[in-house]
Amino acid sequence: MSLFNVYPLFDITPVKAKDVYVYDENGTQYLDLYGGHAVISIGHSHPTYVEKLQQQLANIGFYSNSIQNPLQQQLAEKLTAISGCKFYELFLCNSGAEANENAIKLASFHTQRHKVVAFKNAFHGRTSAAVAATDNPKIVAPINAQQAVEFVDFGDIEALTNILAKGDVCAVITEIIQGVGGLDEASTEFYKTVEKLCKQFGTLFIADEVQSGFGRTGDFFAFQKHEIEPDIISIAKGMGNGFPVGGILIHPKIKASFGLLGTTFGGNHLACTAALAVIETIQQEKLLDNVEEISTYFIDKVSQISGIKTIKGRGLMLGLEFDFPIAELRKELIYNHQIFTGSSKNPNLLRILPSLTVKKEHVDVFINALTKALELKKV
């Protein structure tokens, strides 16, 4: 049986990884500034993570949500402590799309409405309601297109107000910093107004922190910079450092009832252990401080390189915008300098999403390689 061919692949086969490095079958070392798409948060194969997962697997790896699993409660408590999001309740699932799917579904249950507002260039995943709220017609199948979603320009308060005033919107869903879309972030005034309008018109505010959460921006959640309180916060990616786990933080005004949401795998013992190891490591290694320090250093260094039009994003969720498509540059970095970077919907934007453990010396290696690659381009 061959594989269903949906992924254009780089011809590299990692077989081992350690912190910010991955190694292929020939032992070639690659600097990973992509983190497998913002997933690696505490570094590949972190010793605490490996030890805790091995131990948990030897004890019990999985049982369904029909029994007591104290690890889920532990995770909820640790998540409250590290995020400062008191009073929220936690529902666990397996991926970012599933987190958003549940968030939208919950908003619809709560409000008994069915329309969603999302923003231009948004990416929320590939499942039913999540993909309908994603601004990319190529990945929206006719079955998804029947969902009622209105797209508004990111930052357009007037358009948003006009739609919400009709009173039939269950949720406004937004990334705080658009990831796949190309690292745009709206103003604090915009987010605060969205929060206010949602309250005014009985709509729920969903913050998609799937990519920006778990410390990637230097705050535990990206929305915290804007001092807002979303009704639902979706999480995944960095949460499990590679173990598939996601979830939603739910404001207590939204009431639970048996059977309202559910999943077979979500919140299993291994998934909780992975997330607990991530939180413990972020705290012990003061990784949020590291994000701030390395981000400042990175931005300072890249600012000195001519040819970069804009530096976008914050923390270690960064984008370098050029005035040419970066596809070849990305290939040059990977094949000739052994550095993984990312792309986005904006063809001119190179994305930098390293592990939160990345150090200045790694940034230096990248700066050196980028400088050389850009010089080569001029020749």
Ligand X SMILES: Cc1ncc(COP(=O)(O)O)c(C=O)c1O
Give the pair of three-digit tokens for residue 309: 């039009």
Q: Shortest Cβ distance from residue 244 to ligand X (Å)?
A: 8
Q: Shortest Cβ distance from residue 186 to ligand X (Å)?
A: 15
Give the pair of three-digit tokens for residue 75: 């995770």
Q: Which residue has the tokens 């230096």?
A: 364
Q: Which residue has the tokens 């908003």?
A: 107
Residue 207 or 370: the one with the smaller Cβ distance to ligand X is: 207
How far apart CA 90 and CA 232 sit, in angstroms, is: 10
> What is the β-pairing status of strands 89-93 and 29-32?
unpaired
**Cβ pair 365, 339 in contact under 8 A:** yes
Query: Which of 28, 11, 29, 33 lies closest to 294, judged by CA?
Result: 33
Whole-number CA gyration radius for the chain: 21
Q: Shortest Cβ distance from residue 180 to ligand X (Å)?
A: 5
Q: Shortest Cβ distance from residue 134 to ligand X (Å)?
A: 8
Residue 104 or 320: the one with the smaller Cβ distance to ligand X is: 104
Residue 96 or 267: the one with the smaller Cβ distance to ligand X is: 96
Residue 312 or 369: the one with the smaller Cβ distance to ligand X is: 312
Q: Shortest Cβ distance from residue 6 to ligand X (Å)?
A: 13
Contacts of 112 (CB under 8 A, 6+ apart): 170
How far apart CA 171 and CA 114 sit, in angstroms, is: 8
Amino acid at site 378: K
How far apart CA 379 and CA 361 sit, in angstroms, is: 28
Residue 35 or 373: the one with the smaller Cβ distance to ligand X is: 35
Residue 206 or 282: the one with the smaller Cβ distance to ligand X is: 206
**Cβ pair 125, 131 in contact under 8 A:** yes
Q: Shortest Cβ distance from residue 112 to ligand X (Å)?
A: 25
Q: Residue number with the shortest CB distance to ligand X? A: 96
Helix (H, G, I), strand (E, B) or coil at 23: strand
**Cβ pair 320, 311 in contact under 8 A:** yes
Which residues lie near ligand X (CB under 6 A)?
A: 37, 95-97, 100, 123-125, 175, 179-180, 208, 210-211, 236
Residue 71 or 129: the one with the smaller Cβ distance to ligand X is: 129
Q: Shortest Cβ distance from residue 246 to ligand X (Å)?
A: 6
